[in-house]
Homo-oligomer: A and B are copies of this chain.
């Protein structure tokens, strides 16, 4: 969807390491934004994206591996040739639905999101006929749904998932991070810290849901109290949407981690708008007036194969 960052580039690098030709698709897909969601405010940074991709291709040229041969940036009339794209439920048009996967986690607060994602990916795969497709681990539910779609519809491609790229302090890279000013940016690392805490419990041998998530909730409560103690000009409040411990293939919540399957720890938080700012404060795009939803996850690897 453009607004490229190091996470996207790492996927293109991975693709170039495994293939001779890399197609990069850039398309802000309207059907994955709900009627009241932020399609119009989604950052579109075409010139900057092209500069980044050209620079990356120079790097690939030097490395003697695959190259970026195509930027595929279709019009909406190409992607939705018959009816105009529709983000309502049920929605007029031709859609792929992957249920119940699409209704869990992110799907709970974004009911049309994965319908839009699966649909546009099906079209994209049919147009490009790629040997392999590359998705980022950060959007874990997306990659699980695309894998399911490839299996269930017998699509002739291989789904590859690249590791989540993070800032130095652990915040998962996201096109949405540009909306975070310094204060919200700093507070936003809570999500990765929460997931790390729960992961640590798993690594110490905990297998039961409560034993693992207890550590996550401990960190959450600690950070909430920390914010409560600050003045409005220093505070960056957040709300927890969900913290999940789920089966890696079905994304259904698990009570105990199956040692031969492992699990996915994931979460979503909403960084709330700042109530008061101070002169000279470093603000994000949109002046920190809009809530920003952040997601992150960690794969708990099987401890026994």
Partner-B contacts on A (CB < 8 A): 80-82, 90-100, 122-123, 126-127, 129, 148-149, 151-156
A75 to B80 CA separation, bound complex (whole angstroms): 33
Q: Chain B residues near A148 (CB, 8 Å)?
A: 82, 94
Task: Please tell me if the beta carbons of A94 and B98 are within 8 angstroms of each other in the complex.
Answer: yes
Which of B90, B99, B100, B127 sits near A99, CB closer than 8 Å?
Answer: B90
CB of A78, distance to nearest CB on chain B (Å): 8
Q: Chain B residues near A152 (CB, 8 Å)?
A: 80-82, 93-94, 123
Q: Chain B residues near A99 (CB, 8 Å)?
A: 90-95
Nearest CB in chain B to that of A128: its residue: B154
Q: Chain B residues near A156 (CB, 8 Å)?
A: 126, 129
Task: Please tell me if the beta carbons of A95 and B97 are within 8 angstroms of each other in the complex.
Answer: yes
Q: Chain B residues near A149 (CB, 8 Å)?
A: 94
A93 to B80 CA separation, bound complex (whole angstroms): 23
Q: Chain B residues near A80 (CB, 8 Å)?
A: 152
CB of A37, distance to nearest CB on chain B (Å): 21
A–B Cβ pairs within 8 angstroms, 25 of them: A81-B151, A82-B151, A82-B152, A90-B97, A90-B99, A92-B100, A93-B152, A94-B96, A94-B97, A94-B98, A94-B148, A94-B152, A94-B153, A95-B96, A95-B97, A95-B99, A96-B97, A97-B97, A122-B153, A123-B152, A123-B154, A126-B153, A126-B156, A127-B154, A129-B156
Nearest CB in chain B to that of A99: its residue: B92
Instruction: Using A95-B96, A96-B97 as known contacts, list a sample of 13 further A-B pairs with CB atoms less than 8 Å apart, ordered by residue number in A.
Output: A82-B151, A90-B99, A92-B100, A93-B152, A94-B97, A94-B99, A94-B152, A95-B99, A96-B96, A97-B97, A122-B153, A123-B152, A126-B156
A97 to B82 CA separation, bound complex (whole angstroms): 14
CB of A98, distance to nearest CB on chain B (Å): 5
Which of A95, A148, A154 is most buried by chain B, counting CB atoms within 10 A of its CB?
A154
